[in-house]
Amino acid sequence: LFSRFFNFNNAKLMIFKRGHGIESLPEKMRQYIITTCELTTPKEIHFCDGSEKEMKIFIKKMMSDGTIVPLPKYCNCYLARTDPRDVARVESKTSITTKDKRDTIPEPAEGVVGKLGNWMSPEEMDCHINTKFKGCMKGKIMYVIPFSMGPPGGPLSKMGIQITDSTYVAAAAGVMTRMGEKVSKLMNESNQNEIVRCTHSVGVPEDSSSKKPNPWPCNPEKTLIMHKPDEKLIVSFGSGYGGNSLLGKKCFALRIGSTIAKSEGWLAEHMLIMGITPPKGEKKYICAAFPSACGKTNLAMLTPKVPGYKIECVGDDIAWIKFNPKTKMFHAINPENGIFGVAPGTSCASNPNAMRTIFKDTMFTNTALTSDGGVWWEGMEDVDEGVTIIDWHGKPWDRKKPASHPNARFCAPARNLPIIDPNWESPDGVPISAILFGGRRPEGVPLIYQSFSWEHGVLIGAMMRSEATAAAEHKGKNVMNDPFAMRPFFGYNFGHYIQHWLDMPKLHEGIKLPKIFHVNWFRKSKDGKWLWPGYGDNIRVLDWVLRRVSSDDDSIAVKTPIGFVPKEDSINVEGLSDVNLKEALSVPVDFWKQEIESGTKYFCDQMPKDTPDQMWKELKELRKRLEKG
């Protein structure tokens, strides 16, 4: 192997620990690395061992080439500023490759543009790989990162190898995944065909004659994020940002993950996982799916405003959910190892637990910098007097534009979270009692309602809509369909995905299914004021969920056409001043008739042939209930 590298491109192998290098990997992975090396021609290879010493090397390199600046106000924290063209996921450049297009995306009605993902042919994907990646790592270090999603070796965990030419990505992968030696050893004992291969390049080779280092190389014109589920292959070019480049996250854990989950009978979802212990009751775990930048991180680490409740966080973004034959329940793991949260809006008032987590061992991206060596963003408490602010472009802040980018992020190890759940690394996962769907709905959608059945709950997930956020390239505040909060992350045809959810009771005999709810913290009154305080007061809503889960207590619920809604006095509003719970819980019939029409139109337009019959049936029953009033 060594000689092959030297023969082909003179790559210098940098292997930090003898005996645990690339030569220790299984054959298929070695071949993958060799082929990628031959195509991309890096000057060096760095096989990541995941050690602290290695992280220090990454940090030093990024400081010297200007990718990051240190934040002396905190402990081991840094700030990266990206190229302003590379600040969010690019959904329009993200595709899935299957032989048959219909396996990837539903066929829309004639004349309708499909909005449920992008398909690319195998030929086109091969062509992009061979042209875009040819020589793209010239003059650069190629990092090889063996990683595990979920506790290494666990029954719900999966492994991958990421190749990248970005030191920032290698460092972030060390926070967001379990990476290094422990995993590469495990790879030899596992089925090689199950290891997901993830190739990434920022798409800018280094020219030895260039004078100034480019602190954030990227190639926006040529950016593409491609997936081939059949080969468990992810190939990403041109972007160094978040979900485009940390391939273990959305690309593996959700897109490829959902295809594996489909074939193995489980669910890979865009959901937080949290434990809730009520004052005298039993601890329960729930999952919740909201679109990107709708407060999943805030809910996952909520500080209850009502005393006596205990919240513990398992994960804030992704859940792998599998039937456990012993408990007959769904159990979930958080496949990630870190938190990649939206910074703007995070404060001691909105999310004190995040604020206790992120000023240690954290990499910030596109936040503002303060003159006392800290960070700042919109929504954070004011800086001390005399402290000045440099905006996310690195210029003195002129206060006319945001100081921090709206999709600015913090990337912190999950273990630093003071309320991390004691079972967060349990290889078998935690038992799930309820699933919450939600989104930003300024109008019509009650604070909370509960589905009548699993199948009705699936319809609620499928009809989810939310105001667009800064996590992707969409502009404005229009309400968009985001079924299951998975629209940007489906790895296969959404119609088949719905069917897979519907099949759960059939696939797992005797399963005690989680109860399904829909929440909306974002409803506004006619004069534009929030109807619900949100944040720490959301515990009042979670308390109702727990009571419904524990006893199906009908005395606390009212049946409405759209589902069970809390009886007004069953939500504790003690200590809240101007909350109009009646309005927050109301189910306006005309709004809901429209909602059904737009839901029906969505299915008819987007997947006339792939919508499962059960969905049409659920829609029909919902319509009937509403008409009866």
Q: What does 226 bind: ligand SAT, Mn ion, none (CB cut-off 5 to 8 Å by kind)?
A: none
Q: How far is the CB of 468 from ligand SAT (least distance, A)?
A: 12
Supply the minimum distance, in Å, between the C-beta of residue 551 and ligand SAT: 35
Closer to ligand SAT by Cβ: residue 33 or 464: 464
The smaller minimum CB distance to Mn ion, of residues 137 and 293, is found at 293
Question: Cβ of residue 255: shortest distance to ligand SAT, in angstroms?
Answer: 11
Question: How would you class 613 by CB atoms within 10 Å of its CB: exposed for 0-12, middle for 13-18, buried for 19 or more?
Answer: exposed
334-337-341 Cα angle (round to 5): 90
Tally of CA atoms within 13 A in the half-sphere of 612 that contains its CB: 19
**Positions in the binding site for ligand SAT (CB under 6 A):** 89, 242-243, 249-250, 292, 340, 471
> Nearest distance from residue 91's CB to Mn ion, in Å?
13
> Closest Cα partner for 375 from 339, 352, 405?
405
Q: Which residue is nearest to ligand SAT, using beta carbons?
A: 243
Q: Which does 93 bind (CB under 5 to 8 A by kind): Mn ion, ligand SAT, none?
A: none
Task: Write the CA distances from 620 to 459, 558, 559, 583, 590, integer angstroms.
Answer: 11, 21, 18, 27, 16
> Where do the H-state alpha helices sit in 536-588?
539-551, 581-585
From the list Mn ion, ligand SAT, none, pick the one residue 89 interacts with, judged by a Cβ distance below 5 to 8 Å according to partner type: ligand SAT
SS3 282: coil
Name the residue nearer to ligand SAT (CB basis): 250 or 405: 250
With a CB cutoff of 8 Å and minimum separation 6, the contacts of 325 are none
Which residues have a Cβ under 8 Å from the Cβ of 576 and sit 6 or more positions away?
A: 533, 537
Residue whose CB is less far from ligand SAT, 247 or 545 = 247
Smallest gap from Cβ 225 to ligand SAT, in A, equals 10
Looking at the Cβ atoms of 246 and 504, the one nearer to ligand SAT is 246
Residue 233 binds which entry of Mn ion, ligand SAT, none, CB below 5-8 Å type-dependent: none
Which partner, Mn ion, ligand SAT, none, binds residue 340 by CB below 5 to 8 Å per kind?
A: ligand SAT
Report the chain's terminal Cα–Cα distance, integer Å.
72
Active site residues: 294
CB of 434 to Mn ion, least distance (A): 20
Of 269 and 543, CB closest to Mn ion = 269
Nearest in space to 155 (alpha carbons), one of 234, 24, 266? 266
Q: Which is nearer to ligand SAT, 200 or 249 (CB)?
A: 249
Are 60 and 70 in contact by the 8 Å Cβ rule? The answer is: no
Q: Which lies closer to ligand SAT via its Cβ, residue 297 or residue 324?
A: 297
Using alpha carbons, select from 330, 221, 215, 228 the residue that is nearest to residue 271: 330
Q: Which entry of ligand SAT, Mn ion, none binds 243, CB below 5 to 8 A by partner kind?
A: ligand SAT
| Smallest gap from residue 488 Cβ to Mn ion (A) | 9
CB closer to Mn ion, 292 vs 481: 292
CA distance 243 to 292: 11
The distance of closest approach from Cβ of residue 242 to ligand SAT in the complex, given in angstroms and rounded to an integer, is 3
- Cα distances from 345 to residues 58, 240, 297, 402, 596, in angstroms, run 29, 24, 11, 12, 33
The residues near 380 (Cβ < 8 Å, ≥ 6 apart) are 343, 344, 346, 347
Minimal distance in Å, beta carbon 220 to ligand SAT?
16
Listed in sequence order, the residues at least 6 apart from 624 whose beta carbon sits closer than 8 Å to its beta carbon are none
Residue 515, binding choice from Mn ion, ligand SAT, none, Cβ under 5 to 8 Å by partner class: none
Residues that bind Mn ion (CB under 5 A): 292, 317
Strand (E) positions, 72-230? 78-80, 94-97, 119-120, 141-149, 158-164, 178-179, 196-201, 224-228
Q: Are 460 and 471 in contact (CB under 8 A)?
A: no
Q: Coil, helix or strand for 531?
A: coil
611 binds, options Mn ion, ligand SAT, none, Cβ within 5 to 8 A by partner type: none
Cβ–Cβ under 8 Å, residues 319 and 334:
yes
Instruction: Please give the single-letter amino acid code of residue 215.
Output: P
Question: Cα separation of 117 and 587, whole Å?
Answer: 32
User: Helix 454-462 vs helix 494-507: angle between axes, to the nearest 10 degrees?
Assistant: 160
